[in-house]
Chains A and B, each alone.
Chain A
Amino acid sequence: MRAAESTIMLHGRGLVGGVAEGEALVTRDSISGWGGIEPTGGRIIESRHELAGQSFKDRILVFPGAKGSSGWSGMFHMSRLAGSAPKAMIFNYMNTKIALGVVVTRVPAVTDLDQDPLDVIETGDWVRVDADNGLVVVTRGGRPQTGVGSRQRADGGSDE
Chain B
Amino acid sequence: MRLTDDERRMRDGEQGEAVQAAMDLLIRYGEVLGAERLVDTDNVCGANIFGPRQMQLCGHAGPDAVFSEFSLDSPEPVEITPMRAQSYQLIGPMDTQHWQVQGLSQEAHDAIEESESYSARHGIHLMNTCTPYQVGNVPVKGEHCAWMESSAVVYVNSVLGARTNVEGRESAAAAMLTGKIPYWGYHLAENRFGSHLVEVAEPVRSSLDWGLLGYYVGELVQEGVPVLDGITEVPNLVKLKHFGAAAASSGGVEMYHIPGTTVEAGSVAEAFGPRRPVQTLRYGQRERRQTYQQLNSTAKDSDVDLVMIGCPHATLSQIRDVCRLVEGRRVHSDSALWVFTPRAIRQVAEQNGYARILRDAGALLMSDTCPAIGQFLPKGTRVIATDSAKQVHYLPAIMKVQGWFGSTEECVESALTGRWQGELR
Q: Which of B28-47 contact A (CB under 8 A)?
A: 28-29, 32-34, 47
Instruction: Report if B197 contacts A (CB, 8 A).
Output: no
* With A35-B394, A70-B149 as contacts: A99 and B170 at CB distance below 8 Å: no
B252–A101 touching, CB < 8 Å? no
Query: B306 an interface residue at 8 Å Cβ cutoff?
Result: no
On whether the beta carbons of B170 and A100 are closer than 8 Å, the reply is yes
Chain B residues, CB < 8 A from A77: 70, 73, 169-170
Known A67-B223, A68-B252: A73·B170 in contact at CB below 8 Å:
yes
Scoring A36, A65, A67, A72 by chain B CB atoms within 10 A of each residue's CB, the highest score goes to A67
A36 to B70, CA, bound (A): 19
Using a CB-CB cutoff of 8 Å, which residues 1-54 of chain A contact chain B? 15-16, 30, 35-36, 45-48
Across the interface, name the chain A residue whose C-beta is closest to B294: A48
Chain B residues with CB under 8 Å of A73's CB are 168-171
Contact A100 B168 (CB under 8 A): yes
Residues of chain B contacted by A45 (CB below 8 angstroms)? 397-398
| B249 close to A (CB within 8 Å) | yes
Q: Which residues of A contact B148 (CB under 8 A)?
A: 70-71
CB within 8 A of A70: which of B69, B168, B223, B297?
B168
Asked if B166 lies at the interface with its beta carbon under 8 angstroms from chain A, I say yes
Q: How far apart are A112's CB and chain B's nearest CB, in angstroms? A: 9
Interface check A152, CB cutoff 8 A: no
Contact yes or no, B248 A99, CB < 8 A: no
Cβ-neighbour of A99 out of B29, B69, B251, B252 (below 8 A): B29
Residues of B contacting A66 with CB < 8 Å? 252
By beta carbon, the residue of chain B nearest A105 is: B73
Measured CB to CB, the residues of A under 8 A from B are 15-16, 30, 35-36, 45-48, 65-74, 77-78, 81-82, 93-97, 99-104, 109
Q: Which residues of B contact A (CB under 8 A)?
A: 25, 28-29, 32-34, 47, 57, 69-70, 73, 147-150, 153, 165-171, 184-185, 222-223, 248-249, 251-252, 294, 297-298, 372, 393-394, 396-398
Besides A70-B166, A77-B70, A100-B170, 15 more A-B contacts (Cβ < 8 Å) are A45-B398, A48-B294, A67-B252, A68-B249, A70-B148, A70-B167, A77-B169, A82-B57, A94-B34, A95-B185, A99-B29, A100-B168, A103-B25, A103-B28, A104-B170
